[in-house]
Amino acid sequence: MKLWMMLLILLLHLVVCVSLPAPSKVSISSLNMEHTLSFLPGPGTPPDARFTVQVLRLRKSQWRLLAACAQLTAGQKCNLTRAFKDRYEQYQARVQAFTLSQTSNWTVSEKFLPLTDTVLGPPDVSLSGCGDCLLLRLRVPIAMEISPTYRVHVQRTRDGVQFNLSLPYKEETVITYLQPGVEYCVTVSIWSIFNQNTVSSAPHCAFTSRPPLQELICCDARPAGCSLCSGAAAHSAALLRSAGIYCTEKMPIYNSVIHPSAMPVWQGCAH
């Protein structure tokens, strides 16, 4: 072949080669150390185009083909979990569109460091009453080299009184000094010095202990003078009696399912 023909072919090849629009929105999302690459085809990309992914370990500065993501179609994602398996390494990924005769330029992702960039999902939470306390059981979503801290938000259901706790990771923690017979809700999130991308758990609610057996509404003769004698403990009943109000305890009205505030049981009162 003549030299000029070879040059022409080479030139044609170069001209034809990089002519597809480059992919856009190349981004890495990561939850609990599972990493996913997503991208969009550039505007005007033909429907038969495929996409190929390469990854770079920044310290090595050598792009590497990912066999599992060498022929993606538009809308497919690339699982980078294995390719980015070292938490302490910084990585990048890039995507190229291609057809039989054409390719696009590469579009490169942001740099990604698994340790700091993954989102830590909420721990598994279970909550139960233990008298004037709550027993909080937690399970981490992923193994972490350095024990994380937990941020626990506690809120009393009745009046919204709340406080926050920062606890070192333990499978079981007792939240103490609570009011017995009362419902609290907690939300928990992980906190680590390396990573503040965390998601809180949904609220978990529990009574510290069984709510009071009797929640009586007492009245003197006038309905406007209603007063609540909660608990009807012997001494408070006596107090009320000395104030001229008697609670009649017709029936036990404890119900573990119904919240106390939702059971305005009307009991007869006597002076």
Binding site for ligand NAG (CB under 6 A): 18-19, 21-22, 34, 79, 81-82, 105, 153, 162-164
* Closest separation in Å from C-beta 155 to ligand NAG: 9
Of 19 and 236, nearer to ligand NAG (C-beta) is 19
Of 23 and 260, nearer to ligand NAG (C-beta) is 23
Residue 234 has φ and ψ, to the nearest 5°, of: -50, -45
**Residue 80 CB contacts under 8 Å (≥ 6 apart), including other chains:** 28, 35, 36, 37, 55, 66, 91, 93
* Closest separation in Å from C-beta 113 to ligand NAG: 18
* Closest separation in Å from C-beta 104 to ligand NAG: 6
Of 61 and 164, nearer to ligand NAG (C-beta) is 164
**Strand residue runs (E) in 59-130:** 64-65, 78-79, 91-98, 103-104, 107-108, 124-129
**DSSP code string of 135-180:** EEEEE-SS--SSPPEEEEEEEETTT--EEEEEEE--SEEEE-SPPT
- Residue 20: burial class (beta carbons within 10 Å; 0-12, 13-18, 19+): buried
* Closest separation in Å from C-beta 166 to ligand NAG: 10
**In whole angstroms, what is the distance from residue 10 CA to residue 4 CA?**
10
* 3 state DSSP class of 186: strand
Of 157 and 227, nearer to ligand NAG (C-beta) is 157
Structure tokens at 168: 């070192």
**In whole angstroms, what is the distance from residue 202 CA to residue 188 CA?**
8
* Closest separation in Å from C-beta 192 to ligand NAG: 15
Structure tokens at 56: 């770079």
Of 17 and 243, nearer to ligand NAG (C-beta) is 17
* Closest separation in Å from C-beta 99 to ligand NAG: 13
Of 36 and 227, nearer to ligand NAG (C-beta) is 36
